[in-house]
């Protein structure tokens, strides 16, 4: 039955995340924007509480196991994926940088959830995992990565350099993409779990950034770094196609999450701009003629519509994942739309609020800096369009470059 509302059973979670965002993130938001590279220690307490809530059954897992009977006996579910995007939207309404550096919620955790064996999930699942894919010479073209993994006895030896590792300094684990054989292209690319403090792994430096400064972004070097053989996620065998596709599956999970971040920060900006503009008698309304409103009001409503379309695309991608339907294209659509809309909304809200929006007394200028990364990491806007276009047009990657 078609219905696009947030189910009642997830509203408690949304309310909790919203309370955390407002009561916990917002008060320290500016502090860690200024104190880049300082770990927000307030988060330790919060992370502990949140994982306790999870275990208590109110968190992400609470969505599983109940549902309505759908067509042909299938049960429709609103599960972990939907809970994740809804919760993350609220947290990122508070602060994207802080949400990204919440212990235990790293992008590497999504990779482990997507491809690890049950034994590996038991070993790594509870710990904070960062994700290391990008290299100085390989960004969107992840098949071109040069970090190598060589089997020596019962250990893998990793060599290479990774950049833009979100949470790279703070996480307990780093999921590293490396190739077993550079000549074999993407099929030979595997992901490996490296524990923090393993000899041969060194955080070389932390980058200074435009936004999401509360979150650390590290450069990590691997120099003869030895890890146990069973830290490889997935199969050791080099298959011609599937293995890389398996690694790429991680993105089907993380892209709706980035869409959620975008929806959260965009809503924050739109709400705040609307409050500020209300003092200037700008009061957007629904129900009337859209062309019969002052320009600033029309602008706010137009942004609201863009945001709502983005939010629904995000929910669709999560709903498909919860119900076991392949969602690569829909995940890319959600990410592409939400990220560009968030960038546009946050920038426009600064513009609409003028010097008030541009100054540091408001968070609007910060959100306009934070939002930019969302249209870049986990696949740029252009990469999302490539994925969507290839599928729509029935093209292979060598045809549509």
Residue 389: CB minimum distance to other proteins, A: 4
| Whether 378 is catalytic | yes
Residue 190: CB minimum distance to other proteins, A: 30
Angstrom distance (rounded) from CA 156 to CA 28? 41
Per the document, the length of the chain is 401
Name which of 135 and 330 has its Cβ closer to other proteins.
Answer: 330
Q: What is the secondary structure of 218-253 as a DSSP string? A: EEEEEEEEEEEGGGEES-SS--SSHHHHHHHHHHHH
Angstrom distance (rounded) from CA 125 to CA 108? 10
Choices 42-50, 139-147, 171-179, 344-352; region in contact with other proteins by CB under 8 A: 42-50
Integer angstrom CA distances of residue 149 from 67, 130, 219, 313: 44, 18, 18, 38
Contact flag: residue 271 with other proteins (CB under 8 A): no
Per the structure block, which two tokens stand in for 162?
């990774």
Contact flag: residue 267 with other proteins (CB under 8 A): no
Residue 133: CB minimum distance to other proteins, A: 23
Contact flag: residue 324 with other proteins (CB under 8 A): no
Q: Which of 154, 195, 378, 399 is catalytic?
A: 378
Touching other proteins, residues 131-160 (CB under 8 A) = none
User: Exposed/middle/buried for 225, CB within 10 Å: 0-12, 13-18, 19+?
Assistant: buried
Choice from 229, 239, 283, 395 touching other proteins (CB under 8 A):
395
Touching other proteins, residues 182-241 (CB under 8 A) = none
Touching other proteins, residues 275-304 (CB under 8 A) = 286-292, 301-302, 304
Residue 81: CB minimum distance to other proteins, A: 11
Backbone angles phi, psi at 245, to 5 degrees: -60, -40
Backbone angles phi, psi at 76, to 5 degrees: -80, 135
Choice from 34, 61, 64, 66 touching other proteins (CB under 8 A):
66
Name the residue with tokens 């809503």. 267
Angstrom distance (rounded) from CA 116 to CA 122? 9
Choice from 30, 36, 42, 148 touching other proteins (CB under 8 A):
42
Contact flag: residue 60 with other proteins (CB under 8 A): no
Contact flag: residue 245 with other proteins (CB under 8 A): no
The catalytic residues are 378
């Amino acid at each position: 039955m078609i219905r696009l509302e947030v189910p009642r059973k997830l509203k408690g979670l949304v309310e909790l995340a919203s309370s955390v965002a407002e009561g916990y993130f917002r008060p320290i938001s500016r502090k860690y924007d200024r104190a880049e590279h300082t770990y927000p220690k307030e988060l330790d307490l919060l992370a502990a509480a949140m994982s306790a809530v999870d275990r208590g059954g109110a968190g992400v897992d609470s969505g599983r196991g109940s549902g309505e009977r759908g067509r042909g006996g299938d049960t429709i579910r609103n599960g972990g994926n939907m809970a994740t995007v809804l919760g993350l939207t609220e947290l990122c309404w508070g602060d994207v940088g802080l949400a990204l550096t919440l212990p235990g919620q790293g992008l590497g955790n999504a990779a482990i959830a997507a491809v690890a064996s049950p034994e590996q999930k038991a070993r790594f699942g509870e710990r904070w995992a960062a994700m290391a894919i990008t290299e100085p010479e390989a960004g969107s073209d992840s098949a071109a990565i040069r970090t190598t993994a060589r089997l020596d006895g019962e250990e893998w030896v990793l060599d290479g350099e990774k950049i833009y590792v979100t949470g790279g300094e703070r996480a307990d684990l780093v999921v590293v993409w490396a190739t077993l054989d550079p000549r074999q292209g993407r099929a030979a690319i595997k992901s490996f779990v490296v524990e923090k403090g393993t000899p041969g792994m060194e955080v070389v430096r932390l980058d200074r950034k435009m936004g999401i400064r509360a979150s650390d972004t590290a450069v990590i070097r691997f120099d003869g770094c030895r890890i146990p053989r069973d830290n490889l996620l997935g199969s050791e065998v080099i298959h011609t196609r599937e293995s890389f596709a398996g690694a790429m599956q991680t993105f089907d999970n993380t892209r709706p999450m980035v869409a959620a971040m975008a929806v959260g920060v965009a809503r924050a900006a739109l709400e705040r701009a609307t409050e500020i503009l209300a003092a200037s008698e700008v009061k957007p309304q629904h129900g009337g003629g859209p062309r019969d409103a002052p320009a600033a009001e029309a602008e706010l409503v137009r942004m609201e519509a863009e945001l709502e379309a983005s939010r629904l695309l995000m929910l669709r991608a999560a709903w498909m994942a919860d119900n076991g339907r392949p969602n690569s294209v829909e995940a890319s659509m959600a990410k592409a739309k939400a990220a560009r809309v968030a960038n546009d909304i946050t920038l426009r809200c600064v513009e609409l609020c003028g010097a008030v929006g541009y100054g540091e007394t408001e968070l609007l200028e910060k959100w306009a800096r934070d939002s930019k990364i969302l249209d870049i990491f986990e696949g740029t806007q252009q990469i999302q369009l490539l994925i969507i276009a290839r599928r729509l047009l029935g093209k292979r990657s060598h045809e549509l470059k």
